[in-house]
Amino acid sequence: MTIEVLPARLANQIAAGEVVERPASVVKELVENSIDAGATRIQIDIERGGHKLIRIRDNGKGIVKDELMLALSRHATSKLKSLDDLECIASLGFRGEALASISSVSRLTLSSKPSTQETAWQAFAEGRDMAVQIQPTAHPDGTTIEVKDLFFNTPARRKFLRTEKTEFSHIDELVKRIALSRFDIAITLTHNQKVVRQYRPRAMEHGVQRVAQVGGKVFSQHASFIESGHEGLRLFGWVLPAGVTNSTQYTYVNGRMMRDKLILHAIRQAFDESIGHEELPGFVVYLELDPRQVDVNVHPAKHEVRFHQARLVHDFIVQAIKQVATAQTELSCDNDTV
C-alpha cells in the first residue's frame, strides 16, 4: 500500500472514535461549548434517546458568519493560541475537535447569531469532504446545534448504541453532572418533547437547592457542607454521612467534572481512616487550585487530570474530608447516648 493523506472526513471520523462514544458524549461536548460561550440559558432537546435528534440551544455569544465553517473544521478553536495558553486554560474546550468529529458522524446543523450581527446564519455539514453550505436563517442571539441521525454513516458504531431508554439515562446523568458544575446557568432537558428536568439558576450560596434537586431528599436532609483551604488549594462541597449511600458521587476540578482516581482514592481513604468505613457515601466535591498546577490535556474527553503535586493534593483532600467524616461519627455517637 502507498502512503496517502486521509481525506478530511475519514480523519474526522477516526478522531470521533475518541470523543463521540454515544449520544451523551455529544451532549457533553455541545453543552460545554455553550458554557464556554458564556450562555446563561441552555436548552437540551433529545429525541429517541439521542438516536434521532440532539439539539442544544444557548444564549451565548454566538459565532460570526465568517467563522461558521471554521468552527466545523478540525483543530479550529477560539480558545487557545499557544502552548502557554494550555498551561492555564480556563475554558472547558480547547482541542478544536468536537464539532468536526460530531459532524463527520451525523447530520449537523449549526445556526448562530452574535448580538453584533443583524441576521443569523446557518451552516449544514454533510457529505463527502465535509463540504459546508451556509444560508441565512431566523435565530435569536446565541447558537443552536442540531445533531441528527448519529452514526448514520458509521454502521459499526451505530450497532453499539443501546436502547433509547439507556442512552437517555446516560444523557440525564450527564446533565445532572453539568447542572452541578454551574449553579448559575438555567438548564432545561426535554425527551421526546416532554420536559424531564428543569434546573433554575441559583446563586452559588444557594447551591444546596440544586444539589438537593440532583441528589434527592436524602442529600438535602443529611449532607454536611464542607470547606477547607491550604496552600492555594480549596475544597468545598457536600458530603453525606457514612452509611447513607447515594449514587450522587461527583467531583469537580476547577469547574470541570471529573472521575479522577486520585480524588476518589483520597475521599475513600478519609472515610476509611476516620470511621473504618470503606463504602463511600454520596458527595459533591469541588476542588479549586491554580490551573498551572493541573494538566487537563490527558484524556480526549478530559475525564482525568494530572496534578503536578499529586501527593500534596491527595493529602489535602484526605484531611479536608476527614474533618467532616470525624465530625459525623461524633454526631452519631451523641445520638446513641440520647
Interface contacts to ligand ADP, rule CB under 6 A: 29, 33-34, 37, 58, 60-63, 71, 76-79, 93-100, 143
Give the amino acid at 26: V
End-to-end CA gap in the chain: 80
Binding of residue 253 to Mg ion (CB under 5 A): no
Closest separation between CB of residue 167 and ligand ADP, Å?
A: 21
Rounded CA separation 328/53 (Å): 46
Q: Is 253 helix (H, G, I), strand (E, B) or coil?
A: strand
Closest separation between CB of residue 79 and Mg ion, Å?
A: 8
Rounded CA separation 227/242 (Å): 18
Binding test (CB under 5 A) with Mg ion, winner from 39, 69, 71, 98:
98
Is the Cβ of residue 93 or residue 215 nearer to Mg ion in the bound state?
A: 93
Binding of residue 114 to Mg ion (CB under 5 A): no
Which of ligand ADP, Mg ion, none sits in contact with 77, Cβ below 5 to 8 A by type? ligand ADP
Dihedral, 14, 19, 24, 30 alpha carbons, nearest 10: -110
CA separation, residue 111 to residues 36, 115, 222, 306 (Å): 17, 13, 44, 36
Can you name the residues that pair with 58 across neighbouring β-strands?
Answer: 42, 143
Residues 6 or more apart whose Cβ sits within 8 Å of residue 306? 294, 295, 298
Closest separation between CB of residue 233 and Mg ion, Å?
A: 27
Which of ligand ADP, Mg ion, none sits in contact with 79, Cβ below 5 to 8 A by type? ligand ADP
Which of ligand ADP, Mg ion, none sits in contact with 201, Cβ below 5 to 8 A by type? none
Is the Cβ of residue 49 or residue 62 nearer to ligand ADP in the bound state?
A: 62
Which of Mg ion, ligand ADP, none sits in contact with 284, Cβ below 5 to 8 A by type? none
* Backbone phi, psi, residue 279, to 5°: -75, 130
DSSP state for residue 1 in the 8-state scheme = -
Closest separation between CB of residue 138 and ligand ADP, Å?
A: 17
Alpha helices in 180-299 (DSSP H): 207-215, 217-222, 261-275
Closest separation between CB of residue 240 and Mg ion, Å?
A: 33
Q: Is 182 helix (H, G, I), strand (E, B) or coil?
A: coil
Looking at the chain, how many residues does it have? 338
Is the Cβ of residue 16 or residue 235 nearer to ligand ADP in the bound state?
A: 16
Which of ligand ADP, Mg ion, none sits in contact with 260, Cβ below 5 to 8 A by type? none
Q: Which residues within the stretch 13-42 sit at the binding site for Mg ion (CB under 5 A)?
A: 33
Q: Which residue has the cell 484531611?
A: 319
Rounded CA separation 61/38 (Å): 6
Q: Which residues within the stretch 126-145 sit at the binding site for Mg ion (CB under 5 A)?
A: none
Query: For Mg ion, which stretch binds (CB under 5 A), given 88-96, 142-150, 302-310, 330-338?
Result: 88-96
Q: Which residues within the stretch 295-314 sit at the binding site for Mg ion (CB under 5 A)?
A: none
Binding of residue 93 to Mg ion (CB under 5 A): yes
Is the Cβ of residue 56 or residue 242 nearer to ligand ADP in the bound state?
A: 56
> Is there a contact between 121 and 136 (Cβ–Cβ < 8 Å)?
yes
Which residues are at the interface with Mg ion (CB under 5 A)?
Answer: 33, 93, 98
